């Protein structure tokens, strides 16, 4: 036990040493020739639009001469929650999380990832202009998380399986991978499936080994992960609109100059807006390629029975009144 504790303590010391934290409690950004050094990490592969967007942000920041950014896709820096925790501790890391994960820190923020709460991504920039979003940002900062933007978008999530899915009953007994948080687990369960929380990097081998029957996932991720090699149908239920929440730690963010902070936030938000339409275009392209080149059957599905199935989840998780408030604030 002493050896384990010693190893954990050494690992923590190494993390702290690499983040620029000092014993006095302050922090400074690690610099190289005056440039702020920062790592961007995510769980998606090179062909995913999220990775493309991270590389675009990195290019613009590096071209400014103020930053030295490297991008680490495919869980190279760990799972999303791991990277968020590293950032909270002061590491110069930025990752793309989502509202359902971050609801563990600020519960109300999860509303924007609830099933069928919005039809598409067009509301994301509007949400960030609301008083409610500003309150969420302040609440995250109290927990050492800097919410850089909420306008990144990865597309609608569908059920990718070896069975046709037209109604919740068709998912009965199907072990479906989803994100391991209350919003996703409860929603997928309500839609009829056996919800299984699992890191994305483990999904392909789990399906291959018959531990999973499929996944609920956006096309911009299922295609680069080559799920078409194992699964036959993309059932387009669009039950979640997957919002990307770009986060880092307040220690790292506050260590930058005001000019660098402003450039950092603006670049992420600009790219987020630009990529919303690109995601839709890439999703359509990937669907066509999956069908024409790989034989996957891409099916439109009537969402009505799924919308009905998830309504109790709003009450169960305490989001019913908040949904009404948010939609009113957005004029919908």
181 and 209 inside one domain: yes
117 and 226 inside one domain: no
140 and 49 inside one domain: yes
Q: Number of structural domains, the chain?
A: 2
Using 50, 70 and 90 to split pLDDT, how confident is the model at 28?
A: low
200 and 96 inside one domain: no
Please tell me the distance from the alpha carbon of residue 84 to that of residue 99, in angstroms, as a whole number. 13
pLDDT value at 12 more than 50: no
322 and 249 inside one domain: no
Q: pLDDT per residue over 174-230, tens digit each?
A: 999 999 999 999 999 999 999 999 999 999 999 999 999 999 999 999 999 999 999
- CATH code, domain with 60: 3.40.190.170
| Position with higher pLDDT, 269 vs 19 | 269
Please tell me the distance from the alpha carbon of residue 162 to that of residue 157, in angstroms, as a whole number. 16
CA distances from 158 to 122, 169, 176, 232, 269 (A): 19, 16, 11, 13, 26
185 and 226 inside one domain: yes
Among 189, 183, 221, 219, which Cα is nearest to 203's? 221
Pairing of strands 93-97, 175-178: unpaired
Among 273, 290, 188, which Cα is nearest to 239's? 188
pLDDT value at 9 more than 80: no
109 and 228 inside one domain: no
Residue 206 confidence (pLDDT): 98
Q: Which two tokens stand for residue 296?
A: 């996957």
Mean pLDDT value across the chain: 92
Q: pLDDT per residue over 72-115, tens digit each?
A: 999 999 999 999 999 999 999 999 999 999 999 999 999 999 99
- Ramachandran area for residue 151 (φ above 0: left; ψ -120 to 50: alpha; else beta): alpha
Domain that holds residue 260: 2-153+243-279
84 and 194 inside one domain: no
219 and 258 inside one domain: no
């Amino acid at each position: 036990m002493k050896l384990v504790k010693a190893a954990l303590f050494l690992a923590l010391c190494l993390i702290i040493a690499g983040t620029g934290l000092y014993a006095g409690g302050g922090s400074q950004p690690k610099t190289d020739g005056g440039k702020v050094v920062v790592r961007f990490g995510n769980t998606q592969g090179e062909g995913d639009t999220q990775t493309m967007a991270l590389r675009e942000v990195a290019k613009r920041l590096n071209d400014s001469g103020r930053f030295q950014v490297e991008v680490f896709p495919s869980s190279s820096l760990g799972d999303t929650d791991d990277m968020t925790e590293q950032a909270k501790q002061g590491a110069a890391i930025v990752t793309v999380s989502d509202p359902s994960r971050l609801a563990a820190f600020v519960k109300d923020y999860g509303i924007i990832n609830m099933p069928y709460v919005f039809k598409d991504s067009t509301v994301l920039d509007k949400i960030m202009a609301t008083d409610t979003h500003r309150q969420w940002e302040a609440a995250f900062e109290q927990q050492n998380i800097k919410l850089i933007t909420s306008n990144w978008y990865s597309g609608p999530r569908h059920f990718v399986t070896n069975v046709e899915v037209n109604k919740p009953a068709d998912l009965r007994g199907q072990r479906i991978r989803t994100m391991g948080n209350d919003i996703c687990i409860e929603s997928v369960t309500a839609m009829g499936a056996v919800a299984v929380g699992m890191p994305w990097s483990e999904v392909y081998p789990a399906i291959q080994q018959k531990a999973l029957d499929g996944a609920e996932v956006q096309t911009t991720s299922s295609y680069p992960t080559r799920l078409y090699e194992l699964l036959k149908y993309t059932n387009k239920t669009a039950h979640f609109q997957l919002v990307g929440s770009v986060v880092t730690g307040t220690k790292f963010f506050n260590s930058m100059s005001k000019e660098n902070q402003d450039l950092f936030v603006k670049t992420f938000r600009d790219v987020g807006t630009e990529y919303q339409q690109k995601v839709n275009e890439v999703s359509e392209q990937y669907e066509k390629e999956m069908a024409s080149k790989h034989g996957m059957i891409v099916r439109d599905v009537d969402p009505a029975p799924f919308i009905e199935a998830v309504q109790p989840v709003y009450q169960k998780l305490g989001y019913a009144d908040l949904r009404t408030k948010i939609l009113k604030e957005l004029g919908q």
